[in-house]
Structure 1
Amino acid sequence: MKDWKILEIDPWIKDYKSDIDLRMEEFKKQKSKLLKKGEKLKDFANAHNYYGIHKTRTGWVYREWAPNAKGLYLIGDFNNWDRHSHPLEKINNEDWEINIKGIRTIPHKSRIKVMIDYGDRTQDRIPLYARRVERDENLDFSAVVLNPRKKFEWTDEKFKTKKDNLLIYETHIGMAQEKEGIGTYKEFEKNILPRIKDEGYNTVQFMAIAEHPYYGSFGYQVSNFFSPSSWYGENDELKSLINKAHEMGLNVIMDLVHSHAVKNTNEGINEFDGTDYQFFHKGEEGNHPDWDSKLFDYAKPGVCHFLLSNIKYWLEEYHFDGFRFDGVTSMIYKNHGRGVSFDNYSKYFSMNTDIEAINYLQMANELIREIKKDAITIAEDMSAMPGMCLPIKYGGIGFDYRLSMGMPDFWEKTLSIRDEDWDMGKMWYELSTYRPEEKRIAYVESHDQALVGSKTTIFRLADSAMYWEMEKDKHSIVIDRAIALHKMIRWITISMGADAYLNFMGNEFGHPEWIDFPREGNNYSYHYARRLWSLADNGLLKYEWLLNWDKRMLENIKDNNQLGNDIFRLWLDNDRKVIAYRNNDLVYIFNFHPQNSYDSFQVPIHDKGEFKVVLDTDDIEFGGLGRISKDYVYESKNLEHTDYDGIEIYLPSRTALALKKVK
């Protein structure tokens, strides 16, 4: 077997070479099962162009994949929902088809379903490849046939995806508006895109794009994989939004849910042909024990055809620039990673590994590169599977980035203990450690921490004081601490060797309200399912300080090329709660001590020259006390009782600063 480069990059894997060999051997077998000789994955992933309803020269053709069904009938307002007038014919062992004469027979925006005969019963279902699904006043979903007179015209042909130095703004279209209600694609394009651009982010990551019947699922219970969610408006309005983002120079990433599917049969794909195993594992293996959803069987050619075609569809039809793959940990382990501490390599390579799922992710990454060379792929994997972000030809899985899911967990745990007990060594380890040649996306808090039942970083820091003490002219010890640490936590997270950075909308300015989608328990209110941008914009509240900080922090990161670098630790003092390090041309010094300021703190820099502070969290513009001079020149010298050069500097408590060599 081949000596895969992953074994050279990460020597710890050498004991598990047989597992890598098996992974790659099965990958080759699965591709040969799916592809004809000379074919690429992009030639295979065209199910959406064959199945579903399509206009022909003389009318319409509708095809469906339903191997075990006894009969299929196309029904809709075009035939007054006649349940037997338009039967499909079974054309092979798996597929059904009907040809309908006359383009005008099915007008634009006609609502349709397919009645499926299961032998002992019938059920009206949404076509598997429906490209538009809408609900009526009774929340009954139907597919909608699209045949507009004018097709959407893209104007983004000059846009080039920027794959490196990602500053990602994660967002949910429906709750991005300040109104109490569901935001729209149009409103987002007009009101939120300019905001994202102005704040300094270069990539938008959209949650909840594929259709989902329950709005409060955050989009993670997908029912219709080829249908953009109608909760927010028309399909072409999503295209317009992406087109506009590209005009503004923003990448657009889709949160892709191929890890599971909603179990609903009325709206979703579950039991479409009458079996529980058409798409999913049979029996209990096909049910996720925590998510109450269905789990795909990635070994099946029909499932791969469906999901890989779905990837191609979103890339080509909607011009997405890549995907954040949801639930990767759940996919790649047979126990879904539940309750496992991945503290040694044996946990990754064993009978617990779901090789079929790994092979699917490899194919997905290969397909994406075939279609769009510069597309971005991100794995949501909390296990840190070795090779997740290495090229497939190295023996890896092929992602560009992995979300550093340990970082939000670390900050959540840290904020639960006294400031005096924060461990600088653990902080350094959690923020700076990564697998060889793996690109990490750093982030402080996940969107889950903004939901009811959890707490955002600002709420853990300030709690109820957020409601009463955020006016700029009101002094509060609690809020002073919260604002100081909020800035420091975000800055150290993004600057300590991250390859990319992610923020969930509103968290940059410490949005005070949790997210609570409309449900029975809150009288179906949208009061907490929105973002209060005015808090940061009205000029009266301290949220503006945090927003100002976020803008300047990102500006500093970009201007000084701070992403994707190796960092050099200069000093770590757990007793005095000080961390100092160098990233490219900047020297960072963080004093996390809650009380102690240091008049003449000696920091080794190992460099001769003159240095000036270019940014600090104590600036008055960001709600600080203005104790750090931007004009003073720090000249490095041999530090007393040492053999290295450094500077002496005033370090106020709960303050961070960055210095740059000026001479």
Structure 2
Amino acid sequence: MEEKRRVKPYEIGELDQYLLGQGNHYEIYKKLGAHLVEDGDKKGTYFAVWAPNAQKVSVIGEFNDWDLTADVMERNDPVGIYTCFVEGAKENEMYKFCIETKKGELLYKADPYANYAELRPGTASRITDISKIKWIDKAWMDQRLKWDHKEKPMSIYEVHIGSWRKHPEDEDGFYNYREFAKEIVKYVHNMGYTHIELMGIAEHPFDGSWGYQVTGYFAPTSRYGTPEDFAWMINYLHKNKVGVILDWVPAHFPKDAHGLADFDGVPEYEYADPRMGEHPDWGTKIFDFGKNEVKNFLISNALFWIEHFHIDGLRVDAVASILYLDYGKKDGEWVPNEFGGNKNLQAVEFFKHLNSVVLGRNPGAVMIAEESTAWPKVTGEVEDDGLGFSLKWNMGWMHDFTEYMKLDPLFRKGAHYNMTFAMSYAYSEKYILVLSHDEVVHLKCSMINKMPGLGWEKFENLKAAYAFMMGHSGKKLLFMGQDFAQLREWSEKRELDWYLLAEKEHQQMQSWVRDLLHLYRRRKAFYEQDNTWEGFEWINADDRDRSIYSFVRHAKGGKQNLLFVISFTPVARDDYRVGVPKRKQYRLILNSDEEKYGGTGKKRPAVYKAEKSECDGRPYSFAYPLPAYGVAIFEF
């Protein structure tokens, strides 16, 4: 009997195929794709691709002059993986898979598991070796194991690298990953953010998609450098104590010819039925969450970013579009589930699996859902039929908040409870309050230009808005440019309008946000009890006629407490009286009327003593001169 050949460590074996078929090969990216190897005296690259419906597959590239017949791949069943070793195929050389379909058509596909890609508009993959990356962030990674997002500050700066800053002399002008790392660390440290969230990192063909139509899920985009440059950026950020979150897009993928769509001549990564497999509004394909190999692709990809590239968390895009079968579809354009409903039960199980594995293997990492509906238990435990996410974007709060802030102050009393409603459900999930890129594009205006009034009033409105956001329960996210009151809507084609910081009003806005962020990090009352009723207490949620809100944030054990008073009208209240929980001294720690924030600079006492005088249903109170659009934060 012929002895069975021993599988070499880099080759696809029976166990690999079995685990992939079961949907449990969490490190399949180490086997599929292109991997540089030394095999005895031979040096080259081992290629592997999943294409179960292909008739034949060849790997073509610079190493064989793109010859379709030079390196025909061998089929490995039962799951349909094609493999070959190409001697002499070297690092950085470009390649594609030529897939012959059962109809005899030839498709030229980029490698779904490639770790590096040709710069767009090119669409080839590149051979690279990410196993040799040196990691020097052990201190950060050790600390992450003990980090608990529920009781720690999270103030996230959402950034698009390609338009944060640009080199004016270059055609694209992109900062590379290393340049960006050095500059963003300075900015984040100065402003006081704890994390950055990066848009558009996975490889994508079209700049205008902002990275939300991905063709290279395992490749940091080559727009800003190599995978080694990307890793250098992560090392540098971690060394400087900045967390990194990536946008991650398991909802859909584009129809570009070199991408995942109809990968081997038939729908492989997407549902075969177009009513299940296509988003009519977006013109994209929907992943098939009923197929183990596809779920494995996505789960291993999430683990790839968090485990191999040390990313601290993933913000999962468009979760609602995955959960609902009829999302963005009319009658007849979708297929009900087996019980006749509109919930994608396969996607529900996928999320439970994904979050259990990612968070179970990586304590301290976070999975964040951008989920825009009232789907229950998005951040609930999987064991309690929850989806298992760490945090959920609070889209309801964002909508109510921005609609209120757009109103002329005269009409705000009619929408007073827009600003209080979110507290009625604040603890149903673990939330992040977000003012993201989605709120400052497509004619929605920048944050400053959402505000009513002219000139100074816009700035005063926005300062009050940011103070309310920072005081409200929930983690925080702010998109780049909004912290210095960028006037124009964001565009990926140009850098932020940094020149505005030559003007006093924009400097003052930036100083205000900076001081809020640093105060947020220094005072546990802001964040330590974000997810419990003990952390937040209304003093007066009903002062609709004056459009003033007052509330208290508590740290654990009542060791630290903060009182917020925020006015949303241009009327000064020279003797505003606020009820307080205790007969204590109240120290003013942030006052919007200071000159450095654009206020009058009028001197105020540093400490206010509560007296026995009923107000706001409390036996004690004190008076404070509250200016137009005034914000005052007191510590007690």
**TM class, shorter-length:** 0.7 to 0.9
**Cα offset for 1:417?**
2.8
Q: Structure 1: how far apart are the matches of 2:164 and 2:229?
A: 16
Q: Structure 2: how far apart are the matches of 1:285 and 1:143?
A: 29
The secondary structure found in structure 2 opposite 1:570 is strand
Aligned partner of 2:463 among 472, 480, 487: 487
Aligned partner of 2:254 among 254, 262, 277: 262
**Hey, which bits of structure 1, 4+ residues long, moved more than 6 A?**
34-37, 337-340, 640-643
**Cα offset for 1:373?**
1.3
Say whether the 8 Å CA contact 1:618–1:655 is kept in structure 2. yes
Say whether the 8 Å CA contact 2:116–2:227 is kept in structure 1. yes
Number of equivalent positions: 583
What does residue 126 of structure 1 align with?
Answer: 110
Q: Structure 2: how far apart are the matches of 1:254 and 1:632?
A: 43
**Cα offset for 1:101?**
5.4
What does residue 619 of structure 1 align with?
Answer: 594
**Cα offset for 1:483?**
1.0
Alignment partner of 1:658 is 2:627: no
Q: Structure 2: how far apart are the matches of 1:397 and 1:337?
A: 22
What does residue 173 of structure 1 align with?
Answer: 161
What does residue 610 of structure 1 align with?
Answer: 585
For normalisation by structure 2, the TM-score amounts to: 0.87
Say whether the 8 Å CA contact 1:75–1:112 is kept in structure 2. yes
Deviations 1:96-136 (A, max 9, x none): 4343353xx11211111111111332121112211111136
Aligned partner of 2:547 among 568, 571, 577: 577
Q: Structure 2: how far apart are the matches of 1:225 and 1:192?
A: 24
Say whether the 8 Å CA contact 1:576–1:593 is kept in structure 2. yes
What does residue 533 of structure 1 align with?
Answer: 498
CA 1:81 to 1:257, structure 2 compared with 1: closer, same or farther past 3 Å?
same
Aligned partner of 1:140 among 122, 126, 129: 122
**Cα offset for 1:628?**
5.9
What does residue 516 of structure 2 align with?
Answer: 553
Q: Structure 2: how far apart are the matches of 1:336 and 1:599?
A: 51
What does residue 79 of structure 2 align with?
Answer: 94
The secondary structure found in structure 2 opposite 1:573 is coil
The secondary structure found in structure 2 opposite 1:575 is coil
**Cα offset for 1:43?**
6.0
Q: Aligned letter for 1:397? A: L
Over the aligned positions, Cα root-mean-square deviation in angstroms equals: 2.5
Say whether the 8 Å CA contact 2:393–2:433 is kept in structure 1. yes
**Cα offset for 1:35?**
12
What does residue 210 of structure 2 align with?
Answer: 218
What does residue 399 of structure 1 align with?
Answer: 389
Alignment of 1:282-301 (within 5 A): 282-301=273-292
What does residue 368 of structure 1 align with?
Answer: 358
Alignment of 1:318-357 (within 5 A): 318-336=309-327, 351-357=341-347
CA 1:281 to 1:381, structure 2 compared with 1: closer, same or farther past 3 Å?
farther
**Cα offset for 1:226?**
0.8
What does residue 115 of structure 1 align with?
Answer: 98
Q: Aligned letter for 1:191? A: E
CA 1:642 to 1:52, structure 2 compared with 1: closer, same or farther past 3 Å?
closer
Alignment partner of 1:591 is 2:567: yes
Alignment partner of 1:421 is 2:403: no
Q: Aligned letter for 2:55? A: K
For normalisation by structure 1, the TM-score amounts to: 0.83
Deviations 1:266-317 (A, max 9, x none): 2x11111101244334223211122111111111111111111111211222
Q: Structure 2: how far apart are the matches of 1:491 and 1:628?
A: 21
CA 1:339 to 1:43, structure 2 compared with 1: closer, same or farther past 3 Å?
closer
Aligned partner of 2:368 among 378, 382, 403: 378
Deviations 1:196-232 (A, max 9, x none): 1221011111110100000111110011111111111
Q: Aligned letter for 1:391? A: E
Say whether the 8 Å CA contact 1:276–1:283 is kept in structure 2. no
Structure 1 gap segments, 5+ residues each: 1-33, 341-348, 463-476, 518-525
Amino-acid identity (%) = 24
The secondary structure found in structure 1 opposite 2:118 is strand
What does residue 188 of structure 1 align with?
Answer: 180
Q: Aligned letter for 1:142? A: A
The secondary structure found in structure 2 opposite 1:542 is helix
The secondary structure found in structure 1 opposite 2:38 is coil
Alignment of 1:228-239 (within 5 A): 228-239=220-231
